[in-house]
Amino acid sequence: MENSILNVTVSYYNHYSGKNPIERNLLSYLSDYSLENYVAEIRSKTTKAERDELKAKLPGITPSAICYPTRNEQNVVTRTGLISFDIDKIPAEKLDLFYSIITNMPYVAYCGLSVSGSGYWGLVPISNPAKFNQHFDALQLYFKSLGIDRPYFDIAVKDIARFRYYSVDRNAYFNHSAEVFNYTYEVPVKSKKPYEPKAVGSTDLNPFDAFNQSGDVESLLIAYGWTYQPKHDKGTRHRYARPGKERGISADYCTERKLLYLFSDDAATGLELPNKAYNNVSVYCQLECGGDIKLCGRKLRALGYGKTV
């Protein structure tokens, strides 16, 4: 159909890792059933590993853009004005319900089965291709308002150069005069206020600021079975081995910045996450208070932190 909103040109690749794509008409691509038997074979497989092995040999397109020579945002030559959506991990009992919801949306120009046959993908025209991401965020909220949210709504397709595997659906939904989706959503940016601890001597110094400034975390670590490794020290960084380990480096404490850098993921550390820096309060809260920040505040205040000094 010449006047179809799907009558646009997209990039077509022989397979997922393909380079130097050819240009192809999207509308004719969506009605191409030449690999129907191969897709049927994929859908017949009982394990994801089997399906993925076959799926990797399928061709596909980038429905939101023409890209050259490879697929990435930097190589976008032209934007098609379409956003694709992917609804997967749908329980069998919800397939018909989701299809009904999607095909009743006035903005959906196409909706068909995914390669696996257990999900849907589709296309929505947008008013401002330059605001692709903002349109996508608004579309996600729109789907959510109608009962289709994560984990069913796949946010990975927000990538404008996203590869869409070939699929077949003889009963696919087409709306050649779908309404243009002109909504955008700007995710609010929270301004980060720099952390400024109160100066020592302030009458309103809270217990957390006070302990971060003058708390003795190293003695606390030793009390919990950590072993100081002075021969491994580097300047202001004191090295420690976790409880149950006599040598080696599990963390270091920077006396200048008053931060504990944790390298070990062993449960014996008593700390939650490796590869992270903890301030004095975070260490005390986890070791002494089981992560209860309110209890931590009460205990620190009882120890005299937070009072005028």
- Tell me if 25 is assigned to some domain: yes
- Tell me if 290 is assigned to some domain: yes
115, 121, 172 from 48: Cα distances, Å: 12, 18, 24
Among residues 133, 153, 174, the one where a domain terminates is 174
Q: Do 250 and 167 belong together in one domain?
A: no
Per-position b or e across 76-111, b if 16+ CB within 10 A of its CB: beebbbbbbbbbeebeeeebeebbebbbebebbbbb
Q: Do 140 and 35 belong together in one domain?
A: yes
- Which range among 110-119, 223-232, 291-300 has the greatest average pLDDT? 110-119
Confidence of residue 183 (pLDDT cuts 50, 70, 90): very high
d(CA 153, CA 305): 48
pLDDT of residue 108: 98
Share of the chain above pLDDT 90, in %: 61
Q: Is the dihedral of CA 115, 63, 2, 35 positive or negative?
A: negative
* pTM of model > 0.75: no
Q: Does 267 score more than 80 pLDDT?
A: no
Q: Do 32 and 170 belong together in one domain?
A: yes
Residue 1 DSSP SS3: coil
Q: Do 131 and 13 belong together in one domain?
A: yes
Q: Does 223 score more than 70 pLDDT?
A: yes
Q: Do 96 and 235 belong together in one domain?
A: no
User: What CATH number is given to the structural domain containing 230?
Assistant: 3.90.580
Query: Which residue type is seen at 81?
Result: G
Confidence of residue 197 (pLDDT cuts 50, 70, 90): very low
Q: Do 18 and 131 belong together in one domain?
A: yes
Q: Which two tokens stand for residue 56?
A: 């990797």
Query: Average per-residue pLDDT in the chain?
Result: 88
pLDDT of residue 188: 60
Q: Do 133 and 252 belong together in one domain?
A: no
Q: Do 132 and 211 belong together in one domain?
A: no
82 versus 243: which is more confidently predicted?
82
Average pLDDT over residues 27-55: 95
Among residues 158, 174, 190, the one where a domain terminates is 174
- Tell me if 179 is assigned to some domain: no
Q: Does 184 score more than 90 pLDDT?
A: yes
pLDDT of residue 156: 85
Average pLDDT over residues 267-285: 81
pLDDT of residue 273: 65
pLDDT of residue 243: 86
- Residue 171's contacts (CB-CB under 8 Å, 6 or more residues apart) are none
pLDDT of residue 204: 57
pLDDT of residue 309: 44
pLDDT of residue 291: 86
pLDDT of residue 13: 95
Among residues 174, 199, 229, the one where a domain terminates is 174
- Tell me if 183 is assigned to some domain: no
- Tell me if 188 is assigned to some domain: no
Average pLDDT over residues 285-302: 90
Residue 21: how many CB atoms within 10 A of its CB? 21
Which residue range(s) make up the domain with 45? 9-174
- Tell me if 309 is assigned to some domain: no
- DSSP label at residue 275: S
Confidence of residue 225 (pLDDT cuts 50, 70, 90): confident
Instruction: State the helix-helix crossing angle for 280-289 and 293-302, rounded to 10 degrees.
Output: 100
Q: Do 33 and 152 belong together in one domain?
A: yes
pLDDT of residue 180: 97
Q: Does 264 score more than 90 pLDDT?
A: no
Q: Do 98 and 236 belong together in one domain?
A: no
Residue 231: how many CB atoms within 10 A of its CB? 7
Number of domains in the chain: 2
71 versus 123: which is more confidently predicted?
123
- Tell me if 132 is assigned to some domain: yes
Q: Do 283 and 156 belong together in one domain?
A: no
Residue 164: how many CB atoms within 10 A of its CB? 20
Q: Do 160 and 119 belong together in one domain?
A: yes
- Tell me if 186 is assigned to some domain: no
Q: Does 50 score more than 50 pLDDT?
A: yes
Confidence of residue 201 (pLDDT cuts 50, 70, 90): very low
